Amino acid sequence: MGVLEWSPTTEDDLDALVRLGQACLERDGGLPDLADREHLRTTFVTDLAIRGRDELGDVVAAAAIGITTSGGRTATGLVDPSAMGQGIGHEIAEWVLGHSIGSVRFLLDSVSPEAESLFADLGLHRVFAETVMRHTLKHIPVVRRPDGVVTLPFTDDTSEAFQHAYAASFADQPGYDSGTARAWGRWLREQRGFQPEDSRVAMDNSGHVAGFVTVSEGWIEEVGVVPEWRGKRLGAHLVARSLTALEHGGADHAWLAVGCDNPARSLYERLGFRSRGTRGLYEQPTPGDEG
């Protein structure tokens, strides 16, 4: 690795990492957490993380490898836009390959055209991508709640209804796993900044779940509508209601992330959200998938 001076990342690099993340967001957009010190500390100040300094001593790149709960490894990296085109991405890839066991996965919170080209050269395929969207909260549409529905906040009494709504909303989606659905309720309570009073579960007059929305720290995390209630503007109402709650709570913008191929993206655009970049997951193809 000869283009930059590479060394393990330390706490002393956090200010420089924040500037690096901000530069990537300004140019390509992506997950706003890339400018958050705690997110960067958790991601890049680990036992398997490095940062690269140029000849002036500025940090212009960083990379890290995280170990998942299943024991796999997922890498991530950042390259300052001003330093692109110098082969730094290939240096990062070489370091990751040298410290990985088995197949390689890259998760980027800010996807640039250069990264897409690099991964294509490496034979990595994009297996997941989502659009990061932002709402200014300046013009929030009013979407009336559908007749025959009430919405309730997340409490100990409604937590089971939220879990039922999650399962009923996504059971017909590709990749749905009932085990993940069961764990979702526990994960929800542990979500950083979770706002139970602004999260809502929708119930019909018979007490059956119709949909739900969860909110945390300026984010609309998840929105789901059960099949029988789709097409009745329940999802639009839940999102608009959440935007109003965030604005009343003092937020000056709201975020959400939606799969790039998810038709709900057009709904969010109609409600005033605008794209602020892409985050994506890239993997080596498994044997037999190349053709």
CATH code: domain of residue 198: 3.40.630.30
pLDDT, residue 286, reads 63
Higher pLDDT, 174 or 229: 229
Residue 16 lies in a domain: yes
Range 188-192 average pLDDT: 83
Q: Which amino acid is at 245?
A: A
CB 30 within 8 A of CB 109: yes
Helix ranges (H only) for 64-214 are 88-98, 113-122, 159-170, 178-190
**Same domain as 142, residue 104:** no
Distance CA(122)–CA(93), nearest Å, equals: 9
pLDDT band of 291, cuts 50, 70, 90: very low
Residue 291 lies in a domain: no
**Same domain as 119, residue 142:** no
Residues 62-86 pLDDT 10s: 999 987 655 568 999 999 999 999 9
The per-residue pLDDT of the chain, averaged, comes to 92
Range 259-276 average pLDDT: 95
Give the pTM. 0.90
Residue 35 lies in a domain: yes
Residue 276 has pLDDT above 60, yes or no: yes
pLDDT, residue 158, reads 95
**Same domain as 9, residue 120:** yes
CB 9 within 8 A of CB 16: no
pLDDT, residue 287, reads 54
**Same domain as 189, residue 102:** no
**Same domain as 156, residue 123:** no
**Same domain as 148, residue 238:** yes
**Same domain as 141, residue 113:** no
Range 117-127 average pLDDT: 93
Residues 6-54 pLDDT 10s: 999 999 999 999 999 999 999 999 999 999 999 999 999 999 999 999 9
pLDDT band of 235, cuts 50, 70, 90: very high
CB 112 within 8 A of CB 54: no
**Same domain as 224, residue 114:** no
Residue 88 lies in a domain: yes
Distance CA(212)–CA(137), nearest Å, equals: 21
Distance CA(281)–CA(128), nearest Å, equals: 5
Residue 289 has pLDDT above 60, yes or no: no
Range 249-278 average pLDDT: 95
**Same domain as 106, residue 57:** yes
Query: Residues 6 or more apart from 193 whose CB is under 8 A from it?
Result: 216, 217, 218, 219
Residue 261 lies in a domain: no
Residue 289 lies in a domain: no
**Same domain as 114, residue 20:** yes
**Same domain as 100, residue 193:** no
Domain count, the chain: 2
Interaxial angle between packed helices 14-28 and 37-44, expressed in degrees from 0 to 180 and rounded to the nearest 10 = 110
Residue 260 lies in a domain: no
CB 135 within 8 A of CB 253: yes
pLDDT, residue 8, reads 97
**Same domain as 170, residue 247:** yes
Residue 265 lies in a domain: no
Phi, psi dihedral angles at 30 (to 5 degrees): 130, -160
Range 90-105 average pLDDT: 85
Residue 192 has pLDDT above 90, yes or no: no
- Residue-number span of the structural domain to which 50 is assigned: 5-129+279-283
